[in-house]
Amino acid sequence: MLRAARHALAPPRWRASRRASPLTVARPQPAASAPMPSRPVLAVEGLSLAFGGTVAFDAIDLSVRAREIHAVIGPNGAGKSSLINTISGLYAPRAGRIGIGGHSFTRVPTGRLAALGVARTFQNLALFKGLSVLDNVLSGLAEARRAGLAAQLLGLPAARREARAHRAQALSVIALLELDAHRDRLVGSLPYGLQKRVELARALVARPQLLLLDEPMAGMSATEKAEMSGFILAARRSIGTAIVLIEHDIGVVMRLSDRVTVLDHGRRIATGTPAEVQANPAVIAAYLGLDEDEAADVTVGEAA
């Protein structure tokens, strides 16, 4: 049973060697980058959420720096998606505060997300299946429109300039995610993996300072996951966005992330680099169903 659980945690395609620990995967060395500013893009302090008498998560602290990919992982029911939904204002927390770009909220106003520089994707696709790829991506700039409806209908110069600028912005992110060949196709006619890429493009088109990705690779093949991982890294390089990533594939998480926060039963049990989290007995216990004394004996160099 223990051997099977370890294999579930670290699929063979991500392993560096047969003697990897349950959470150990190969991870490329990060490229040198400019120093990160001291103030985080996202600062969650003591955040708690409950549905009636059921606690989704309790007293969560989370800090995400500029240009950082910060993964949130944990077993099913740990509270990961509920945390993302609360950060984006869909749920009202019962306690705590959320800081975004220097602004602090007890509940983030969903109508101000774009103005705050926040974009997100969802577990389930939320695209306009009857519209083209280009039109779906352009819909990510709806909150950025300054020309009024009358100006748009009359084709006034300011409205035309704005429309050209938005089109150029959309085409740029379409090129970044290698969707050029599908630009004019209806989204509903595309394979699932490409639709997930369109959703990422729509979230990126406004060049957000904070991007919340809720299982962007759910249901993808290994090849599609590898491609999507590359596009996420390309978006971070090109746009400079900070990313909060929820993803069940531990191999993907450990390869992509700068830091990882682990939730279990609604509580934060670890935060650190991928290497630190991989070696944390509390994390191993949460994933393998061991107590922490047993998990402490599962060393990094032990054979899987």
Give residue-wise pLDDT tens across range 33-76: 444 446 799 999 999 999 988 999 999 999 999 999 999 999 88
Domains along the chain with CATH numbers: 1-28+38-117+210-304 (3.40.50.300), 129-207 (no CATH)
Percent of the chain with pLDDT over 70: 76
Please report which confidence band the pLDDT of residue 133 belongs to, taking 50, 70 and 90 as the band edges.
very high
**Would the CA dihedral through 137, 237, 11, 287 be positive or negative?**
negative
Separation between Cα atoms, residue 116 and residue 245, nearest integer Å: 19
Task: Work out the average pLDDT over 210-234.
Answer: 94
Query: How large is the greatest C-alpha to C-alpha distance in the chain, in angstroms?
Result: 72
Backbone angles phi, psi at 37, to 5 degrees: -65, 155
Name which of 34-48, 116-130, 144-158, 255-269 the model is least confident about: 144-158
Please report which confidence band the pLDDT of residue 301 belongs to, taking 50, 70 and 90 as the band edges.
very low
Whole-number average pLDDT of the chain? 82
CA angle 237, 239, 241 (to 5 degrees): 90
**CA dist 7 → 1, 16, 19, 20, 242 (Å):** 10, 13, 12, 10, 31
164 vs 17, higher pLDDT: 164
- Residue 237: is its pLDDT beyond 90? yes
Backbone angles phi, psi at 35, to 5 degrees: -60, 140
Task: Work out the average pLDDT over 225-253.
Answer: 93
8 vs 73, higher pLDDT: 73
